[in-house]
Structure 1
Amino acid sequence: MTSSDRSGAAVADTRLWHPFSDMSAVRRGEFVLTRGEGIWVYDDQGRRYLDGTASLWYANVGHGRKEIAAAVQEQMGKLEAYSAFGDFTTEPAQALAARIAGLAPVADARVFFTTGGGEALDSAAKIARRYWSAKGHPERVHLIGRTGGYHGTNGYGTSIGGIEANRAGFGPLMSQVSSVQWDSLTALEQEILAVGPQKVAAVFAEPVIGAGGVLPPPEGYLEGVQAICEEHGILFVADEVICAFGRLGHWFGSERFGLAPDMITFAKGVTSGYLPLGGVVASGRVAEPFWDEAGNMLRHGATYSAHATCCVAGSANLDLLAQDDVVSRALELESVLLDALKPLAEQSIVHEVRGGVGLLAAVEFTPEALAAGAPGKVFERARERGVIVRALGQGVAVSPPLTIERDEIAFLATAIGEAIEEVGQTSVNAPATKV
């Protein structure tokens, strides 16, 4: 089937089913990107846009980095990939695992590779449960997440996640999981006691909640979570799919808060999205029953785990992050980004502006504006002005590449401000726009 665009040209019905998309609106209205350069991307009409979201929180070193492309091409000419099951491995997988283990704030770290963040979360959840079983405590299976938490869309991640809209409509999810108020240590302690500490396997927390609204932790909160887990012998899992590799100004966001998690999940920034890769950094404590006891196999893993070419992309990306100390740029620019967005809090449809902990921020709208579809409308108006933002449930978020400059942050903020002003003046009472 076909329809017509604004110029009258026929537009074919796409065969691509987009994730997290209203396909009734998208099917004949795709936004086609053709190339990227630095913090900019270009559509099929040649128009340029500031990538205010680093695609999906991941293009940390920016687009079009030839260093990564060259490394990938070279590896593909030697050995594109090979399974890591049993005793098989490749030099790129060994090298990247050793490098990540050396960077992570995890004692005696081991690295289990996946193909993305959702798979990393599910791996960490299964490792946590399997760890306790191997230690003679099969009753310790309960997993605790937080409201607003996003942990991917696989089975365990959907179940642990605290964004209700992502859980609805799928029927029964994983059992023996629960969610507590994202900023309350009291709620966490009470839930652990209600379940029974001897039944809890792990607690999962993003250092800064991302998709749930860009929620920086209250002072001392994450340190308190770790202390509670230590008190009750519970594994603490830091979900750093967004927060690692420079997004919070450190190689891992946990470093910023002095944390030493039992496991860290990672993805996105490990390759800056150039190839799909994720994983779990596990402590020596967690690895011990599998590494030191013969025959105690972890029967879990993906076909493309430790994919050689993806690992090469990761190593080349880490090289770029290390150059000119790109990984710490969030510390330099986080206040610049927040200060540029703060004036937007004066606009009538804005409830709050959040940020200041890493190079990411959000603008939350008032209940009235949300009811009128403000996030989607601001997303559209900003894109018309050459800036891509991310529409979330309560507002819009930005998380630009770490290579962004101060004048480009100013341009980003100006476009968002103009978009919000236009929506506030003309569109809040109109029917919500589908995005």
Structure 2
Amino acid sequence: MRMSVIGCGYLGAVHAASMAKLGHEVVGVDVDTAKVEALASGRAPFYEPGLPELLGETSATGRLRFTTDLAEVAGSRVHFVCVGTPQKRGEFGADMVFVDAAFDALLPFVQPGDVVVGKSTVPVGTAERLAERLAPTGATLVWNPEFLREGFAVQDTLHPDRLVYGLPTGDNAVPTEAGEAAKAVLDEVYATPLAEGAPLVVTDYATAQLVKVAANSFLATKISFINAMAELCEATGADVTRLADAIGYDDRIGRRFLNAGLGFGGGCLPKDIRAFMARAGELGVDQALSFLREVDSINMRRRVRMVDLAREVCDGSIVGRRVAVLGAAFKPDSDDVRDSPALSVAAQMQLQGAYVTVTDPQAVENARAKWPDLKFAESALEAAQDADVVLLATEWREFRELDPEVLGEVVAGRRILDGRNVLDPVRWRAAGWTYRALGRP
């Protein structure tokens, strides 16, 4: 099938390459010339495991190409809209300027019978509004939210854990004739994962738009819950890791996402829960999501607490102390530094008088662009040279596997803050380190 992907950022680039891998003919369109040139040459403009290889493989088949000329989408049967919806400056709501601009630019090239597929995370009600604008073209809008995890995006696109179609429905909540026709088209698009048994949920526009933000809100709540328990553990001497293990055996709860530490960041969870709250307020049901304010607050409080912990292990003051921060990306296997807890803590420590050096396997350049006043190093050993305290802030494998004896030879003081609760405290203490972590004795 011939299709277009509008917006070739993180979501769009992975989606375009994955669709070509599934056998479709894909043209990706973006206004960023440098990004398009990189993708066209098989280079990923961001770090995502497996994407460079996928770009190279699919580009070689001739089924994948990238351009800045939107007119080249003409003739595509399906158009995926994959542009960003960042948080508005100074507000909680989502900024829809890129989604609206993409639809405005696409409309002249859409033909009757085409299917336009929204994949961006948007406030509920957006699809209904955009469907009205699309109606005169004779095309049909479907909302098909994405559920990608950074670091696993290629796998999640080629082998999704579920697919959701939001179709136009009539008064009886049954898909319209146009909706059924659009579903058949999407079934063809996703024929391979559907044949592999990927669950399919067919629903209305409103439900499809709510699925992504509801899922992210649940995950954020689970993370903040265990971090709230960490605060209680610190006050009582309990161990939050053992607590999480114990309650995680309950099938109704589960152990995943019950890892206390610096909390969540990135370009999705923080802005999505805030946009969700903002939209609930617009709909007059703000009380339904008032708990998300505390979820957000707990998450941000962990960053402040980590600075306090550094002060505690440094005899009450970090002024003039050398701090090595291991990690800049908001999570491992990514170079994304948006709302990164690691960088937030690093910047707070520097503002409070510490000499901070940050390292990360992939995110140093992005971090330097965002925080040029911080000092950066190429490796953990370089960052830790003469450090008074080391903070593991992003749980990259190479940081989790550090040898405490080797690291201990380069530091000025053997003090380690485990911001992700992934190190073995017995091993580090045996090597003479003062080990501290959020929520642990």
Mark yes or no: TM-score above 0.5.
no
TM interval, shorter chain, is 0.3 to 0.5
Report the TM-score when normalising by structure 2: 0.33
Q: When you count helix as a share of all residues, which structure comes out higher?
A: 2
Query: Which protein, 1 or 2, shows the higher relative CO under an 8 Å CA cutoff with sep ≥ 6?
Result: 1
From the CA coordinates, give the structure whose radius of gyration is larger.
2
